Structure 1
Amino acid sequence: MNLKDVEVFCAIVAVGNLTRAARTLGSTAMTVSRRLALLESELGVRLLQRTTRAVSLTSEGEEFLPYARAMVEAEQTAKNMFSAGATGAFGLLRVTAPSGFGRRNVLPLLPELMAANPQMKVELNLSEDAVDIVAQGYDIAIRIAPLRDSRLVAHRLADNPRVLCASPAYLQRNGAPKLLADLKNHACLRLSALPWWLFENQGGAVSYTPDARFSCSSVEGVREMCVAGAGIAQLTALDIREEAARGELVPLMLEDMAMPALAVWALLPTRRYTPRRVTAFLAVLKQSLG
């Protein structure tokens, strides 16, 4: 398989257009189209659907894309190994993470990581959307919610159970709930996207819909209101780790309910080849999560 043909395929996917891909590669649209046709002929499948304005991946193209990127990356890594003065990880690390988690747990790691790897660049997407990392070319997706996409390679980074919490001031004024039913007598603070709170009872899932006095689209908003003494929230252990350590928030336990287990996961598009920039990032993130 000609690596130049594979590189052309990756470039087309990156920009979504044959002409722009040719401009990026310093080539012509005709050459780019011919190389793509040669690659498809060799593989025996159609990788891209073409229109006059854009291209889109076929299912076969989507399946092949992680391997294509891995081949191009492997070639670049091999060249970089023998480049004068080359040290550490290199290339563009593309990461997507939930906004609250990313601001608190990912952003603080990047200055030191980038200083230790001068040839590495980072693109961080902070979003609550479940990004298709294969089609959009991300190296890593950080997920807190239960995993659904079995096509991806999952690495468990840390436990992160759900937790009820409130400030000492709120508990002094209102007391702590002991049973699930007690929550109806308390001011509840929730995330707008999660209208219910989840618990476990004898191994079974139990959902509770709080009559929320305050709701917010971000973890930061709910956490700040909770610290301010406005009510009780259900967040995760990592969401309140710093506040709990400072005594600003108190984790609460119910006698008739347990808290569901969650974890922080790193999702990768393929296990065939993991770039050094990915392993370097995952190592520092896992260490920071404890």
Structure 2
Amino acid sequence: MNIEHLKLFVRLAVTHNISQAGQELGLSPAVASAHISKLEEGLGVRLVHRTTRKVSLTQEGEAFLPHAEEVLASVEVARTSVGAGSTAPRGTLRVTAPASFGRMHLLPALKTFLARYPHLSLDLRLSDSIVDLVEGGFDIAIRNAELKDSSLVARKLAPDRRIICASPDYLKQCGEPAAPQDLLNHQCINLLGLETWVFDSPAGHVSVRPTGQLRTDNGEAMRDACVDGLGIAISSTWSVYQHLARGELIQVLKDSPLVAETAIWAIYSSSRLMAPKVRAFIDFYAEYFGGEPYWDQALSAQGAHS
């Protein structure tokens, strides 16, 4: 039984499209179709229903799928165990990450990462939408969201500290809030899904639902609007540390820190043994960011000199 045929079948089960599944594995539609036919001939059963638009698994295909996935997982583990410590990671690593974080903090280190692993290529997809790791065929997802799928595991790469910011022009015109409740009297820029801001105060947690003329689904757009003086906003320090250093933004409500259990996570499928290419990427960026990432170090240095 051909391993490449199994890989194609497993991707086909997700994409329901022979051309797309073949493209992901570097195969032409004609070759991909021939591979599936050979797999069916070898098994003596029809695995897929084919139409002009998409394919679906037959009952036999559905029954065969988990066994095909198990075989591929076993092969990966076997290859890793034989080459552990002596074989460099190779192949294509597919990673999805938030657009702003990926552009600002993954891309600048990629030259070093790829030079360290010359047999590895990277397929990096940057999107603010949460992409399904398995259905998308990704090896790693970079997220700062809660891990909900028990079939996935996560490793913390860096903290995701969030603060309240405003531009000097906005504060000059509208004044600075002295307490979280004062935000109700200010223009605030809301990020979709983060409309309630929770603060830690001497009296306990304080929840505020600020309002304003602008709401957006993009953190970078929210930050830039805040720089332009449209209102007060929540931002991650990794997003605003340069703007704070340049004086384009000012942190407010320092005595009332936000309550947020957020971090930058690398999420991947659980297995008995992590693939070398996955381990290489995660270890590299965990070391690159370090215990206190460079963006928070910059803010600490700025605070020490202010």
TM range (shorter): 0.7 to 0.9
- Name the structure 2 match of 1:144: 144
| 1:79-114: CA deviation from partner (whole Å, max 9, x where unpaired) | 989xxxx97432101001111221212222222222
* Partner of residue 156, structure 1: 156
The alignment status of 1:10 with 2:7, answered yes or no, reads yes
Matches within 5 A, 1:1-290: 4=2, 6-15=3-12, 16=16, 23-24=30-31, 28-35=35-42, 50-53=48-51, 54-55=55-56, 58=62, 61=65, 65=69, 67-74=70-77, 88-191=88-191, 193-194=192-193, 196-201=195-200, 207-253=207-253, 258-289=258-289, 290=293
Label 1:29 to 1:259 Cα distance change in 2 as closer, same or farther (>3 A).
closer
Letter in 1 for 2:56: V
* 1:108-159 Cα distance to aligned partner (Å, 9 max, x none): 2222222332221111121233222123321101111222112101111121
Any conservation in 2 of the 1:89–1:119 contact (CA below 8 Å)? yes
Q: Would the aligned equivalents of 1:162 and 1:237 in 2 still touch at CA under 8 Å?
A: yes
Where 1:51 maps in the other structure, the secondary structure is strand
Amino acid at match of 1:11: L
Name the SS for the 1:11 alignment partner. helix
In structure 1, the gaps of 5 or more residues are 39-47
> What is the alpha-carbon distance in structure 1 between the residues aligned to residue 145 and residue 9 of structure 2?
32
Unmatched 5+ stretches in structure 2: 23-28, 294-306
Q: Tell me if the contact between 2:163 and 2:257 (Cα under 8 Å) persists in the aligned partners.
A: no
2:96 touches 2:141 (CA, 8 Å); kept in 1? yes
Q: Among the aligned pairs, what percent are the same residue?
A: 31
1:267 and 1:60, CA in 2 relative to 1: closer, same or farther beyond 3 A? farther
Partners in 1 of 2:216 and 2:253 — Cα distance? 23
Q: Secondary structure at the match of 1:247?
A: coil
Q: What does residue 43 of structure 1 align with? A: none
Contact persistence 1:18–1:33 (CA under 8 A): no
Deviation at 1:172, TM superposition (A): 3.2
Amino acid corresponding to residue 50 of structure 2 in structure 1: T
How many correspondences in the alignment?
273
Secondary structure, in 3 states, of the residue corresponding to 1:132? coil
Supply the distance in 2 between the matched residues of 1:188 and 1:247 (Cα, whole angstroms). 19
TM-score w.r.t. length of structure 2: 0.73
Match for 2:231: what amino acid? Answer: G
**Cα gap change, 1:275/1:126 in structure 2, threshold over 3 Å: closer, same or farther?**
same
**Any idea what SS the aligned residue of 2:274 has?**
coil
The 1:204–1:272 alpha-carbon spacing in structure 2 relative to 1, beyond 3 Å, is farther
- Take 1:205 and 1:7, find their aligned partners in 2: how far apart are those partners? 55
CA displacement, residues 247-286 of structure 1 (integer Å, 9 cap, x when unaligned): 3322222656643231111111123232222222222322
